[in-house]
A and B are shown apart, each in its own frame.
Chain A
Amino acid sequence: MVAIDTSGGEALGGGLLTTADGKPLKQALAHAQARARRKALLLVVPLLAFIVITFVVPIGQLLFRSVYNDGFSANMPQVSAWFQETEAGAEPDEAAYAALVADIVASAEARTIGVVGTRVNYEISGTRSLFTSAGRNAKDLQPPYREALLELNAKWADPQLWGVMRSVSSAYSANFYLAAMDLARDANGDIVRAPEDRRIYGMLFLRTLWLSALITGLCLILAYPVAHLLAVLPLARSNLLMILVLLPFWTSLLVRTTSWMVMLQEQGVINNALVALGLVGNESRIQMMYNQAGTIIAMTHILLPFMILPLYSVMRPINPSYVRAARSLGATSWTAFRRVYLPQTLPGIGAGALLVFILAVGYYITPALVGGASGQLISNLIAYHMQDSLNWSLAAALAALLLAGVLILYWLYDRLIGIDNLKLG
């Protein structure tokens, strides 16, 4: 503890205040402050270390994966070395073919030729079998290797193939980012747009943004009246209604998605009710699921509480006398709402909209279950490349692009609203 010694201060000279043990007060205070700061930091350090290990490092790993793939370079050392020595666009000579054949033989023996083929296949589809079949036959090839290899398959002379092999001969490449942005490299190594039938990622990013924006808008429209009602009702009654908002929030995501499947399917509750009421014929049941409609409906429901809660916390403290004053001064109820009430709720609108949008952009489970083909979002494609096509580097590049977008939005959220204002329930 710092004890101020007022008596000895002047005796020590300089008019300096000191503590009982003779230290200048300023220094002692700074010392105590630094100690308090260290103590506060010490409490946070264990969690920070944990988050770094289970979150920051893995995401670093993901970013690394998005530019690193040694599937070709690690298994084809000799031809990779030839690429290192020659200029881009150089005609492959006999030495190059000899290196290639030697690598194929070694790789086939180590049973890694499939990995090599897969790596090249990411860039030109249909080339995996070229490598695996060469792997089966390369042992018997005799020099001159160029003719021998071309006899196996004439595709080996394709300049595009050699261009691709050159680009994958280095473990580090930006090719996965190019692919994720619907770009590609041509035989000369120049960046061009991908062939039209392979431009799917840009479309998916756009669709993700568009659907997220639509869902955010729907959530806002639905949440605004409810939040307002909750804010103006007496506390006891609004608490009761609040439980109806919080219950979905606490219910398992899979339960809610399952319920929507039950409600929306062709023989489901909603369609049956519509048929029973005679609004829809039995043959013309509405297709509400396995398309975009399914994604939109279910995600709006799931994200709605994230919009209601911030709106409510902004609306509750608004003093109703402002609106009443506006009315008494002759404003119509619409004008009073638009010019007096709405501006006061803007922080809540911003907070809710940003939060819902950020969460929607990364959604995976719900679109996968009720989205069908047209309701898939970018997350579903990342999952597809992780689990089915096994192009992990492309998945990582797509994830990195999505991450960049989300982090920008998150930064914006923190700047505008402040992350410590986030409240749950």
Chain B
Amino acid sequence: MALPIYASPLEKVWHWTYKAICAAIFVFLIAPILIVIPLSFNAEPYFTFTEKMLSFDPEGYSLRWYDRLLTFGMQAPDAPRDWSWWRDVLANATWFDVAWNSIVIGVFSTILATVLGTLAALGLSRPEMPWRRSIMAVLISPMIVPIIITATGLFFFYSKIEIQKWGVPYLGIIMAHATLGIPFVIITVTATLSGFDHSLTRAAASLGANPRTTFFKVIMPLILPGVVSGALFAFVTSFDEVVMVLFIAGHDEQTIPRQMWNGIREQISPAILAVATILVVVSVALLATVEILRRRSEKLRGLSAG
């Protein structure tokens, strides 16, 4: 937005004030995310910038908190770092363990949410769909209902059906996380389908394609960007979810957020900031993927010249 040349001095002042306000709000949005990154390299066990860090003295920075993440929970953290040391890390390091749990739970709940959510979005986008609005409202509601309520309800439900005794590891958490991820899949896939031309499926059918071929050759390529970004949303939701895990997980079902939660409650050590930094890097990567997909989707649907 350029300022017109005939702007009065007062308007010029207002224009620059407005830009300064916007800049300040952007700082407010981003600063808390960036601040943890340098602090996680702090050589001292503090949460604040030391003199040495501010003067960019290399001695003020170290990788000790990342090292701490790796060795936390190991049997012999001080052993020489040879092959058996790394085997010890893989077998015992707590953060390794919880990261693995988070990934397993995230992947399975994402698959569940994406498959069910995409099918439902396809049904909801059909013009013949009855009770469309009410069904949509029900399917989106896990996002709206406070998580503590869902978690409390699931706690009663799971203890009644004794899901822990079914012998399927993580089953309860995976289902719960899938429920929370489903609204995101529905919203993104329906948005992609909103510009979808239904005569394409009819054209495919009239050319002799069976429904399966139509789905995989015509519909899927067009909605894939929406499906993938929905899946990423679902994965992030699961990867970030702590209340559910606190309420319904078994003792050995630790995830990254639960471990962070415990760490923050007991005493924050800068090791938490190292985890936070890693998570920020992960979210930047995911955001970049979604952005690329969005642009691709717009190009495919001819919405932008891109």
Contacts and interface: CB of A to CB of B under 8 A. Distances in A.
B28 to A, nearest CB: 7
Interface string B271-301: 0110010011001101100110010000000
Interface stretch (A58-66, A124-132, A177-185, A341-349): A58-66
B36 A258 contact: yes
Contacts of B153: 55, 58-62, 399
B179 A262 contact: no
A contact patch SS = helix
Interface stretch (A72-80, A112-120, A357-365): A357-365
A254 B257 contact: yes
Nearest to A308: B29
Contacts of A252: 239-240, 257, 276, 279, 283
A402 B149 contact: yes
B26 to A, nearest CB: 5
Contacts of B287: 243, 246-247, 250
B129 A37 contact: yes
A229 B18 CA distance: 9
Interface residues of B, number: 96
A403 interface: yes
Contact of B154 (A44, A58, A425): A58
Contacts of B28: 222, 301, 304
B196 interface: no
Contacts of B184: 424
Nearest to A49: B116
Contact of B290 (A62, A222, A255, A425): A425
Contacts of A232: 1
B39 interface: yes
Given A48-B139, A269-B35, A365 B123 contact: no
A259 B155 contact: no
Contacts of A425: 229, 290, 294
Given A259-B36, A333-B11, A420 B264 contact: no
Given A37-B129, A267-B47, A259 B187 contact: no
Contacts of B22: 225-226, 229
A222 B24 CA distance: 10
B156 A65 contact: yes
A359 B143 CA distance: 9
B187 A59 contact: no
A192 interface: no
Contacts of A263: 31-32, 35
A200 interface: no
Interface stretch (B59-67, B69-77, B92-100, B130-138): B130-138
A58 B157 CA distance: 5
A53 B179 CA distance: 10
Nearest to B232: A250
A398 to B, nearest CB: 9
B149 A59 contact: yes
Contact of A423 (B140, B146, B191, B290): B191
A206 B61 CA distance: 47
B33 A256 contact: yes
A418 to B, nearest CB: 8
A37 B128 contact: yes
Given A55-B150, A254-B260, A258-B260, A419 B128 contact: no
Given A37-B128, A301-B32, A251 B150 contact: no
A258 B263 CA distance: 10
B240 A259 contact: no
A321 interface: no
A383 interface: yes
Given A47-B120, A419-B133, A386 B276 contact: no
Nearest to A380: B148
A424 B264 contact: no
Interface string A225-264: 1100100110100000101111110111111111111110
B261 A256 contact: no
30 contacts: A36-B126, A37-B130, A40-B123, A42-B123, A44-B120, A48-B135, A50-B179, A54-B154, A55-B153, A58-B153, A226-B26, A229-B19, A244-B30, A250-B286, A252-B239, A258-B272, A262-B39, A262-B268, A262-B273, A263-B35, A301-B29, A362-B146, A379-B148, A387-B246, A399-B149, A407-B145, A410-B144, A420-B136, A424-B188, A425-B294
Given A47-B116, A47-B119, A225-B25, 4 more contacts: A40-B130, A50-B116, A304-B28, A424-B187
Interface of A: 33, 36-37, 39-44, 46-48, 50-51, 53-62, 65, 222, 225-226, 229, 232-233, 235, 241, 243-248, 250-263, 265, 267-269, 272, 301, 304-305, 333, 358-359, 361-365, 369, 379, 382-383, 386-387, 392, 395-396, 399, 402-403, 406-407, 410, 413-414, 418-420, 422-425
